[in-house]
Chain A
């Protein structure tokens, strides 16, 4: 089996920057990502798409070419369309590519698996036509496909970004139904100095809002009692805003109230996670350079706590420097010299977060959904069912699996895990940390018998599936 100094899972900004930094210091790096091209979520498909739709997606998108250009160098084997489903002892990494299982090994592993949309269980959210706002953006980025009659629902800067991109593409959303309130913004005022340090983000936010307003997209804030209606597909959204009940007919609903770390791989390796009250989600416990409690396992980027693409890139470099030192490619002095300015830049990038997290909190109705709302999309378990498990003495998500099949479907709790923890914690009067999270075991993604049977020869070399 081919062995590398460092395996990086995820070719977003964190993973690409880390690969480049590590290779610069002479490490042999394998960079695995399930996407067909490098870029991660923010820079998805940037090499192919920048020329086609760069004007719609904006300079923060096309900037990604800087990073994709950096991974086409010696020392980096970029394996595309590699779905990683297990990382096991001695860091043997199993993945599926082209319908076949394959493995590589590495001395150290950097998890740069990014973020997922925060689950937003509202009545009707399982209907066809209801998608995450991130999904709407992926349709636009990757495929140039746009929703003609969409309503954007939720809160946060990404909601405005997507709305602005839809405006530029000539299909503005029918409306923005926003869940944050004026009181949230007032509370966020406490963090204004931090926000001012990240002033360029604030400025971008103001510009996006101006674009949305100029296109006369109606904005309803402080929305509550949100319900998506439809027979077999989304047909309308109902909500209350400004004391008035409203209904907007639409074909598509894009939901978003923030992103949360994708913790699946770290959890499967026994990385310790703690509840972050500020971000209302679990985050892995990391040291300053992305090290975890598991020797040899590092985490960088939004998978380590949400801080955005620039922070992800810097954190990727910091982690790579640490790995280079551990592997004996850099002296401690040399590492410190390089890492010190990066650490300062990272602190600066993170400064805007407390303001954003407070100004755009998650939607309360989706954090504690009504009893009848389905919270586990795969197994169709309702919030009421989870509350009833708590009444029967169920304390944690793993025990909940004994009561029903929640979290046991193919998504492995990616879109219900945080809700299950929140509901059990609320009903039992315990903290999310005491309540815990699903135990995650490999396979991280379903593997078919055919893929296992076609497991490539262990001595075969992994091919560099990248375009470069």
Chain B
């Protein structure tokens, strides 16, 4: 079951399984990853390297870098990535974590 999310999806799309910190999530295939994670109830995407403060997507257009997640070992902007089956996503957990 999807956790309650502050966001809802207008259309139903075929879903694929993505791993978020090892936990399976069913997300719409081809969707924007940041949007799909928000709709799945994920609010915090990362913790900041400076103070460990929680962050989530802010601009959705590749400019703010608050949606950074680690995908296959590379830190990327979730709002610039599309959902594909088997994607392994990890939330950078802040202080000391290597970001870009």
A interface residues, Cβ below 8 angstroms from B: 34, 36, 41, 52-53, 83, 99, 116-117, 126-132, 134-135, 138-139, 142-149, 169, 171, 232-233, 251-252, 262, 377-380, 409-411, 414-415, 445-446, 448, 450
Contacts and interface: CB of A to CB of B under 8 A. Distances in A.
A202 to B, nearest CB: 28
Interface string B1-37: 0000011111100000000000000000001100110
B57 to A, nearest CB: 6
A144 B10 contact: yes
Contacts of A448: 74, 100
Interface string B55-83: 11111111111101000001000011010
A145 B44 contact: no
B60 A34 contact: no
B44 A232 contact: yes
Given A139-B7, A377-B66, A450-B74, A128 B45 contact: yes
A128 B55 contact: yes
B60 A380 contact: no
Contacts of A233: 43-44, 54, 56
Contacts, number: 120
Interface of B: 6-11, 31-32, 35-36, 38-39, 43-45, 48, 50-51, 53-66, 68, 74, 79-80, 82, 99-100
A contacts with B: majority SS: loop
Contacts of A145: 7-10, 35-36, 38-39
A135 B58 contact: yes
Nearest to A36: B82
Name the prevailing secondary structure of the B interface residues.
loop
Contacts of A379: 50
Contacts of B62: 34, 83, 445
17 contacts: A36-B82, A83-B62, A126-B53, A128-B44, A132-B59, A134-B59, A138-B79, A142-B32, A145-B9, A148-B8, A252-B6, A252-B7, A377-B64, A410-B65, A411-B64, A414-B64, A450-B74
B20 to A, nearest CB: 15
Nearest 3 pairs of A and B residues by beta carbon: A128-B56, A251-B6, A143-B35
Given A127-B54, A143-B39, 5 more contacts: A129-B6, A131-B60, A142-B60, A145-B39, A410-B68
Contacts of B45: 128
Contacts of B51: 380
B75 to A, nearest CB: 8
A410 B55 CA distance: 14
Given A380-B48, A380-B50, A446 B100 contact: yes
Nearest to B99: A410
B63 A116 contact: yes
Contacts of B55: 126, 128, 377
Give the most central of B8, B74, B99: most A CB within 10 Å.
B8
Contacts of A126: 53, 55, 66
A36 B84 CA distance: 15
Contact of B63 (A131, A139, A252, A414): A414
